[in-house]
Structure 1
């Protein structure tokens, strides 16, 4: 065998070995991501466990409490469907601040939001908001204030955009030294499980047409990555709000 031919075959083997390592590394990365995010959660849901209050606080007539979540009942004009358009709330649909409380302490993140949501509703999408709000659980002495503030903002937002939206609020706390992660708090998928398995009229969700929009995407300057991990764990297409509402 000539020296040139040997060198050529040697390069080929190196290239093949390198490609094989890349594939193995990619598979390992995918597995690692899957292990970190976790699978969709099985959540036991019974109407007997749905309350008209959260902890000791009585909720407005259209809101219900279940374990550590608060959700609203279906509004007039809402429809269950296989197409889900899901959104985060704070920093995605509404400009809010942890330093300000009150039902009126918010503004639209983008002026195009009402028109965009109305278009999705006309196209047959069910609009859903999944939002974390641990202050409701954390502020034990101000829980009424925290609930009135969050629910008031959401009710006002829905009125402004002019379309029915189902809302799920995860009130539980994240993981710390004394407790495990709340199963409903994003990026955990408990809120999605309640929607998909119990509050969508037994209609199977089309994952190819459904999507989730959120601002916590793990980018430089983001407050976290819970939104993108939430979407990945469920298997939903993911968009950041500036991409979705400015397109």
Structure 2
């Protein structure tokens, strides 16, 4: 159920109202440049557009904008690709902790000084926009400023001691677009002519908004170690969840980063706060972590030589808590875990077959009249078995494996299943159907946090990459709820027990989990047609219309696929 967004709470969960913060410095049209600025005097600022006034020198005409010096039909000349007097450069790419993908680009213009006060901005739709009213730029030179006050505002903030940071999502299935963006940014920064950092996420990883990865990278690595003044700092973006907005990504990013959020109209035009907005998709703050303790498969301390051989199937979607359950409940009881991708016809992987055969070769089986074998075999299997048919096939193959081993029968194994289900925060609260929201969120959270800290005495080197969205959808589409009778036939084993474990986290981990993370995946939460949070001024009589429009936009488009062959402007 959607909830009303409170205007008072702690950082990273709910933010104070705008009235409780110091006012954002106003735009000064006549304030002189600071004498301490490390940049040359800025060029004349045009009211709109991306081109500054041409230089007065007659010896060499420098190109200051995207349109000057362009030959019709031939594109820009080579000398236009790098304007003279460039004061910025691309720094080394910030690679994902997963070690995969194109990472996050980092461009620095001038020599920005560290500051406890930070003014962060989205780029597309906030600082610049395509020319001629287009939704997406045609090339590196198709851009203009969003308004005449943009440059003046940024320079005023710089004079007032703010660090200026631009953060933008630029992931695209087309590799040449990242190169286009890298060519464009020097021209944009030259037009703004204020010391700043630009962070551009080219991948779907921990840096992508609404995850706070780009903000955290700046704070931890590129701001001189200063403690941030969150009362004075703020973030400006156009994806604010308002009726006409294409997304709500920027508002969610500000919530994740603990920053006060402003729309471009509030920042550049001194407009009143617009509280007629909603947050779309699934609400992680509404999830119920107070579920009962998971059931134990075995007693805490089983007596030796009294437990039969066991096989436990861990059944649930990706990132649903299976590994955590194994580490905390099964591994201490000496279960051996086998994790493998889907096999053709649910066949057993070769490693599992060899392990079972080798175990019984080392430990000869006994009949009912003999003492039990000294070391029971305990297996925990984690593999995608979404449908009842796939599980029956797997159990049949396992039963046939046992029959092929001399002296071993199906009755010598106790076969159990543990189902991992969501505990709340969904339209449907059963495992599988509706669970994709939790899996997406957990997959991002796992990727964001798994590369941090240490494993024992060893530092973590790689984070867990995101589970592909296509795999999540396929599992949800094929999921069938397991039953105790499943697999009971002459040719396959059956479940001796079936337990359900609801996903939950201990209180110590919940603060890092309760963030807006699912939107790191491709697609927009607005296209789900579900409203998670109502803004203080949301007109609920109009919400039904918003939902209908969102569902109409979704027609013919799959979430997770970029809608147009252009830059990601969310």
TM range (shorter): 0.5 to 0.7
**1:104 is the counterpart of 2:138:** no
Whole-angstrom distance in 2 between the partners of 1:62 and 1:192: 18
Number of residues paired by the alignment? 183
Instruction: Please give the secondary structure, in 1, of the residue aligned with 2:141.
Output: coil
Residues 6-37 of structure 1: CA deviation (Å, up to 9, x unaligned): xxxxxxxxxxxxxxxxxxx888xx89x949xx
| Structure 1 match to 2:117 | 83
| Structure 2 match to 1:94 | 128
Structure 1 residues 160, 207: closer, same or farther in 2, change over 3 A?
same
Q: Pairwise mapping of residues 1-247 of structure 1 onto structure 2 (< 5 A)?
A: 34=13, 62-67=90-95, 68-72=103-107, 74-96=108-130, 97=134, 99-135=136-172, 138-139=173-174, 143=175, 145-173=176-204, 182-247=205-270
| Structure 1 match to 2:299 | none
List gaps (5 residues or longer) in structure 1: 1-24, 36-59, 174-181
Conservation of the 8 A alpha-carbon contact between 2:240 and 2:249? yes
Q: CA deviation at 1:104?
A: 1.1
Conservation of the 8 A alpha-carbon contact between 1:95 and 1:108? yes
Conservation of the 8 A alpha-carbon contact between 1:101 and 1:149? no
Conservation of the 8 A alpha-carbon contact between 2:128 and 2:146? yes
Structure 1 residues 130, 61: closer, same or farther in 2, change over 3 A?
closer
Q: Which has the higher contact order (CA 8 A, sep 6+)?
A: 1
- TM-score normalised to the size of structure 1? 0.67
Whole-angstrom distance in 2 between the partners of 1:148 and 1:104: 12
Whole-angstrom distance in 2 between the partners of 1:116 and 1:238: 16
Comparing both structures, which one devotes a greater share of its residues to helix? 1
Structure 1 residues 34, 94: closer, same or farther in 2, change over 3 A?
same
| Structure 1 match to 2:565 | none
Conservation of the 8 A alpha-carbon contact between 1:102 and 1:148? no
- TM-score normalised to the size of structure 2? 0.30
Q: List structure 1 runs of 4+ shifted beyond 6 angstroms.
A: none
Q: CA deviation at 1:114?
A: 0.6
Structure 1 residues 26, 156: closer, same or farther in 2, change over 3 A?
closer
Whole-angstrom distance in 2 between the partners of 1:165 and 1:61: 11
Whole-angstrom distance in 2 between the partners of 1:26 and 1:147: 36
Q: CA deviation at 1:232?
A: 1.0
Q: CA deviation at 1:111?
A: 0.8
Residues 189-227 of structure 1: CA deviation (Å, up to 9, x unaligned): 111110111111111111111000000011112111110
Structure 1 residues 100, 225: closer, same or farther in 2, change over 3 A?
same
Q: CA deviation at 1:154?
A: 2.0
Q: CA deviation at 1:172?
A: 1.5
Conservation of the 8 A alpha-carbon contact between 2:170 and 2:200? yes
| Structure 2 match to 1:39 | none
Whole-angstrom distance in 2 between the partners of 1:210 and 1:26: 21
Structure 1 residues 237, 61: closer, same or farther in 2, change over 3 A?
closer
Conservation of the 8 A alpha-carbon contact between 1:103 and 1:156? no
Whole-angstrom distance in 2 between the partners of 1:98 and 1:222: 13
Instruction: Please give the secondary structure, in 2, of the residue aligned with 1:81.
Output: coil
| Structure 2 match to 1:11 | none
Conservation of the 8 A alpha-carbon contact between 2:170 and 2:178? no
